[in-house]
Structure 1
Amino acid sequence: MRQPKRNIPWLVLLLAGILLLSACGGNNENNQNSAQGGGDGQAVAEYTLEKDGGEVVKVTQEEFDQFKGMKKVNDPYFEQRAALSETFEEDLLKQYVAVKILESQTSAEEMDQLKKEADEAYATITEQLNANEQLKEQWNSLLESNGLSEEEYKQYMLLQNNAITQLEKSITEDEMKKQYEERIAADPYAYLTSASVSHILITAGDTRTSDEALELAEEVKQKLDDGGDFAALAQQYSEDPGSKDNGGSYVDADINQWDADFRKAVLELPVGQISDPVETQFGYHIIRVDKRDVPTFEDASVQEIVKGELVEKKFQDFLANDLGSYLKEIDLPEE
């Protein structure tokens, strides 16, 4: 499920689980308890909100468990990641502490704006869920199985935006330009998100084996090499219902929604050249790239992506170089 506001992939994985207990409609006393570690229970970590000093804040086991519950909701590979890392629990706890420190730096004015964004974002999610009853049931079941409510998830979105806002403050335009240039130098299509292509799909199935599908695809490719009209041949042979009646064409399509093998071919094929049959999970494609413009740094969508990459870098830098000045103790129970 996509998150409408400030949708930065690292944060979906990293902050999925931040749960502001007091923001679920409690009174001021509850809010104060949350700010000081989430209420009663065994402390699994202690930290301060100022470097090398200040009042000690405790993270309870209950609070950390809620973090993990939200993490599981947003990360389908949570269990696999946990199994592969001996320090997974400790790393997760450090991430939580880091985000709570960032939260403490938010002004009242910033919080008001971020809360508005979180409300708007969840309203969009709710609209999407209400349009698909099956998806809505799956989402509600996922929340329930992890002991979470919709209101708590909304608070996670608030905290997600909160952390991004604090990390973005130190990003300069020069840093963004440098990041863009380095990525483009390593991969000219690093920031390409859309392209216009035409293709003819030949599928295998009940009436045609894979070998027969390949043979037919090669015959169609030969017709194109002999001067055949791509649009006409697409209408005659293509078995992609989404494009065959449009000459096999997709205009300014999101390349990140495509099959990985199809996407790879589109990125590697010279513009205007017709490919040999390309195999994907759907069958064999004959592809022509009609347009593939690399977006410039001035493109607003590119700047959002670049900013997201720098936010991730800055968070990892905070974990590696700054967190130790705030973190006093970690005391996770032995398994």
Structure 2
Amino acid sequence: MKLQVPGFLRQVTLVPSGRRTQAALAAVLVLLGGGSGANLTMRALDALPDGAAFRAGGTVVTQEQLQQRVNVMELLYGVQQPSDPAAADQFRRSVAKAVAVSMVVDDAARDAGIVIADKAASDQLDKLVSDDGTDRKTFVQQLGGHGVSEQDVLDEIKRQQAGARLFQQVTAPVKATTDADAQHYYDANRAQMVSPEQRELANIVVTSQDQAQSVAQQARSGADFGTLAGQYSMDGSTKGSGGSLGTVAASQLDATYAKAAFAAPAGSVFGPVQTQQGWNVGRVGAVHPGTPMTFDQLKDAIKTKLDNDAKLKVWDDFLVTRIKAADVRYAPDYLPADPDAPPAAGQ
């Protein structure tokens, strides 16, 4: 199960959007923007209480509380914390930074008078549970095994809904892109106006490399890939459809996964490939080469892109003002490598 993140917000995409695709930090990163030119005042502070990860706006977030946020994000977005020590260290620092800045967004939403009704969050949770093919009672029972409460999930939903509403308020004055603006952009970037190569992909994600090797060997030996997906895949949103990810471009995929998927010939099995979701085995179906596209074909997409770029510029400027006013201080083990920059898409 995953939360549906509004498309106009920045997000980290590991596998095609619309499926269990967002990274563990997506819940907070999507609302933070790229922060062009932002300058956070975030420093390590030895005087933080024992067990603290960071302090933001006078509120101390303990290591235990930060881990609880990670548990919620893992459950909702299906992404595992890295096991490699170096990657785990980077993940821990990135999570601390992302959650700290998300608290700035939370404060800004409250200051803007944004209140999310309990019923709105509850209705969204009901929809998410239903879309995942289960029921609310079963889902709540499952939460306990992950150290997560129903209220934790409702709070995360409220956080997303409030951030989305704040984004709408802040960017409301942005004027819509005109056809002339879109034509100018098309003419200036004509060489890039080509549809990217797309591939029909199916995927199976499992927990270990050994299991992925076994699944890959079975698939290469002639076992039906769809049957294997139904039997082994952890991705509840695709296993019922033979692991189908649909027709996707490389840009929609995790970089490591995309490299393997777009290097393999049509009809072949590739992997195992490790992503933050687990160990993946994929199969390539039809390959659709890229072709030049006309302005009429791209006009709406260009206008949407330029509209979003303009909104994100306003959003970034708004965040810079809010973030500069925050006094966020990290414990040494949670200090990010780039504490003076907000989280960036793809981090």
Query: Normalization by structure 2: what TM-score?
Result: 0.46
Tell me: higher relative CO, structure 1 or 2? Use CA pairs within 8 A at least 6 residues apart: 2
Q: Which structure is larger by alpha-carbon Rg, 1 or 2?
A: 1
